[in-house]
Amino acid sequence: MFLLLGAAACFSWGPITHYQFACAELAPEKTLEQCVAQHPDLIAGDDFPDAFFFDRFIEGSNCTGFTSFHDNAFATQMLISAKAWDAKSAAAAAESSSSSSSSSSSSSSSAATAAAAFNATEFALGYASHMYADDVGFFSNAIAPAATYLNWLRAWTYMVAIDAATAAAAKAVAIAVPALPSAGGAFIASVSADFRAHVDPRAPLISAPQVMECAAAWQFTLRDKTAEALAQLEVTWRHELVEFSPYNASDADEALAQLAPAKACVSRVWKRYIALASAPGARPGAVDTEAAAYIAELFERGECAPPPAGAAAAPSPPSSTPRAGPLGRFPEAG
């Protein structure tokens, strides 16, 4: 099983960098390794959009017809649906624990406990984090200037190098990519029904078994590419950061510095999105249109790309947001 080369570079950011984006915003007090280990549902959600978008390129995968789920409005619907899902799962687990201990009720209790153990809100936050990090990465052309075969081939090597640099900066030497639990498959299937009912009547429906098949196929690729980045020698990733830099960096440190504005914009866009999505009456589509306009505004002001050669960089605006992470706005994700 392998990812066909024609699409292999379409991550925008590699999985480790996606994990770092999510963890930096949602669990900033933890190291990358701690976040990955302690928030498996957040991490599982963080790269799951690509399971729908690229599984069709994986040899032997039957996960086709769901590319429309790699979508901002779908992510927002997922976040809305997650709150009700987590509340329902917790109530079912509480009811099951107080029921009789007959063999049939014991089986039901185990299922309810497993469902409650899955944190749908964290999964949804990870899913949305991926989408908005991609929006910044693709908007900036920092990863692939155009969607050509050659550019994607180059970009894949570049993104593995960025992942290796991200892991090195975080002092991460072991990152275990979590599997999607069966309750996660049922949740995503439910979200697809909500999305079709409330947002896009033309959207496809997906069953829980189909979700799990998509997850299994994508898991292989994620683990393979994460391991590749973690094993890459420093001399290799530093060379490749320069070789594949779209900004003609002269050395690896300059290449990383040139990516810093786009990474900072990911953080700014995420904070704006969370504020919009957590507001009363937030609706999929409307929230995402506002967030997209904010991204365009940041790029129009030149705040998400390195300044032209010889120009002085604009000072970063002071942050007024406490670095406590927005999980407090979503207590279900705690």
Segment 280-303, tens digit of pLDDT: 999 999 999 999 999 999 999 999
Within a domain: 97:
no
* Cα–Cα distance measured from residue 290 to residue 271, given in angstroms and rounded to the nearest whole number: 13
Residue with tokens 């406590």: 324
Note the pLDDT tens digit of each residue in 112-128: 555 568 999 999 999 99
pLDDT at 328 over 60: no
For 127-161, b/e burial (b = at least 16 CB within 10 A) is bbbbbbbbbbbebbebbbeeeeeebbebbbbbbbb
pLDDT at 70 over 90: yes
Identity of the residue numbered 112 = A
For 311-320, b/e burial (b = at least 16 CB within 10 A) is eeeeeeeeee
* Cα–Cα distance measured from residue 195 to residue 146, given in angstroms and rounded to the nearest whole number: 30
Within a domain: 163:
yes
Per the structure, how many domains does the chain have? 1
Within a domain: 312:
no
CB 240 within 8 A of CB 161: yes
Helices (H) and strands (E) in the chain — how many of each? 13, 0
For residue 176, give both structure tokens: 């275990």
257 vs 153 pLDDT, higher one: 257
Please state, rounded to an integer, the average pLDDT across all residues of the chain. Answer: 83
Arithmetic mean of pLDDT, 79-101: 82
Phi, psi of 3 (to 5 degrees): -90, 125
Single pTM value for the model: 0.85
Q: pLDDT band at residue 322, thresholds of 50, 70 and 90?
A: very low
pLDDT at 11 over 60: no
189 vs 47 pLDDT, higher one: 189
For residue 16, give both structure tokens: 């480790």
Note the pLDDT tens digit of each residue in 235-269: 999 999 998 887 889 999 999 999 999 999 999 99
Q: pLDDT band at residue 212, thresholds of 50, 70 and 90?
A: very high
Q: What angle do CA 281, 263, 67 make, to 5 degrees?
A: 60
User: According to the model, what pLDDT value does residue 71 have?
Assistant: 95
* Cα–Cα distance measured from residue 27 to residue 207, given in angstroms and rounded to the nearest whole number: 31
Tell how far CA 228 is from the center of its chain. 19
User: According to the model, what pLDDT value does residue 149 have?
Assistant: 47
Arithmetic mean of pLDDT, 49-55: 85
User: According to the model, what pLDDT value does residue 323 have?
Assistant: 37
The half-sphere exposure of 295 on its side-chain side, counting CA atoms within 13 A, is 23
User: According to the model, what pLDDT value does residue 331 have?
Assistant: 46
User: According to the model, what pLDDT value does residue 93 have?
Assistant: 79
Domain range spanning residue 71?
5-83+120-305
* Cα–Cα distance measured from residue 166 to residue 163, given in angstroms and rounded to the nearest whole number: 5
Within a domain: 324:
no
pLDDT at 330 over 70: no
Rg of the chain over all Cα atoms, to the nearest angstrom: 20
Note the pLDDT tens digit of each residue in 301-318: 999 988 876 555 455 444
For residue 206, give both structure tokens: 């997906």
Within a domain: 228:
yes
Helices 72-97 and 120-140 pack at an angle, to 10 degrees, of 170
Within a domain: 26:
yes
Q: Which residues contact 213 (CB under 8 A, 6 or more apart)?
A: 61, 62, 63
Within a domain: 319:
no
CB 13 within 8 A of CB 153: no
pLDDT at 274 over 80: yes
Within a domain: 187:
yes
